[in-house]
């Protein structure tokens, strides 16, 4: 009788350990955080100096004839009317040229920062629920934000920002979590896209601080490389 009881208790303990191990694995995904700030150098985890190029933010479109896109954005000195860059010293204002004004024309200036995700996010429900995108943005002038699509006034993730985000006022703040975020992301190449429309023909630029926390981050784009740069990442094999 005692042997049977001991065997039963040992079996129960083993099954309990298996269940706990499995549940722990599901509840503790390998979460990572990447910085999305403008003017932030991932190589040394500090801001690029004024006058440098931001090799992690790429300009993909501007209204100026004769310019070459894509190209790296420029880190610029803030205009006197602008608020200082957020989260000093970990971000800077960036623009399409070194002073934000040479050759300026009215129209859209489009920037993007890209990264690669493996399929791990979509294979773990706990990771989906723990995933968060946080952004805080100022720009000169109007601006729109998209994730894996060109943002427009009708497809702007910042529709709830209440008109905030002017260069001299409170920033527009955006937070997306859980299933809503996982539906915007995809395995492979992902790009945060910011469109800034110049209206005044004086100067243009924007400053963003933010982060993405999720699982399966497999690389951050460096330099204005073609869309196929992540074709060999683990999510695409």
79-110 tens-digit pLDDT: 999 999 999 899 999 999 999 999 999 999 99
pLDDT, the chain, mean: 85
**pLDDT (0 to 100) of residue 233:** 59
Least confident piece of the model among 18-32, 109-123, 176-190? 18-32
Q: Say whether pLDDT at 10 is over 80.
A: no
Q: What is the tens place of the pLDDT at every residue in 19-64?
A: 334 443 444 678 999 999 999 999 999 999 999 999 999 999 999 9
Quick check: 15 pLDDT over 70? no
Q: What percent of the chain has pLDDT over 90?
A: 68
Section 7-29 average pLDDT: 44
The pLDDT tens digits of the residues spanning 142-167 come to 999 999 999 988 889 986 444 568 89
Provide the whole-model pTM. Answer: 0.84
pLDDT value for 225: 66
**Which domains are present in the chain?**
29-236 (2.60.120.260)
Check: CB of residue 44 under 8 Å from CB of residue 143. no
Mean predicted confidence (pLDDT) in 70-85: 96
CA-to-CA distance for 225 and 237, rounded, in angstroms?
Answer: 20
Query: Nearest to residue 61, comparing CAs of 152, 133, 186, 135?
Result: 152
Instruction: Determine the pLDDT at residue 20.
Output: 36
What pLDDT is recorded for position 234? 54
Spatial distance between the Cα atoms of 42 and 88, rounded to a whole number of angstroms: 15
The pLDDT, as a whole number, for residue 220 is 86
Q: Which residue has the tokens 């049977």?
A: 4
Alpha-carbon gap, residue 97 to 75, rounded angstroms: 8
Averaged over 171-176, what is the pLDDT? 93
State residue 160's pLDDT score.
Answer: 47
pLDDT of residue 205: 96
Q: So what's the pLDDT on residue 2?
A: 40
Which token pair is 79?
A: 């205009």
């Amino acid at each position: 009788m005692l042997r049977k009881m001991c065997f039963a208790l040992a079996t129960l303990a083993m099954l309990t350990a298996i269940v706990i191990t499995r549940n722990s694995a599901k509840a503790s995904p390998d979460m990572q955080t990447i910085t999305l700030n403008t003017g932030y150098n991932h190589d040394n985890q500090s801001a690029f100096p004024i006058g440098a190029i931001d090799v992690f933010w790429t300009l993909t479109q501007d209204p100026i004839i004769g310019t070459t896109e894509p190209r790296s954005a420029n880190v610029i000195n803030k205009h006197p009317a602008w608020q200082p860059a957020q989260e000093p010293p970990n971000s800077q204002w960036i623009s399409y040229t070194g002073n934000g004004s040479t050759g300026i024309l009215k129209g859209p200036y489009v920037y993007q920062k890209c990264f690669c995700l493996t399929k791990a996010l979509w294979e773990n429900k706990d990771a989906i629920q723990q995933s968060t995108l946080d952004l805080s943005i100022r720009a000169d002038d109007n601006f729109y934000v998209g994730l894996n699509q060109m943002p427009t006034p009708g497809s702007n993730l910042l529709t709830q920002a209440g008109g905030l985000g002017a260069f001299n006022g409170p920033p527009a703040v955006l937070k997306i979590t859980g299933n809503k975020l996982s539906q915007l992301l995809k395995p492979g190449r992902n790009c945060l896209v910011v469109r800034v429309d110049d209206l005044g023909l004086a100067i243009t630029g924007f400053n963003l601080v933010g982060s993405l926390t999720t699982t399966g981050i497999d690389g951050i784009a460096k330099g204005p490389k073609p869309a196929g740069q992540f074709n060999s990442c683990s999510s695409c094999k």
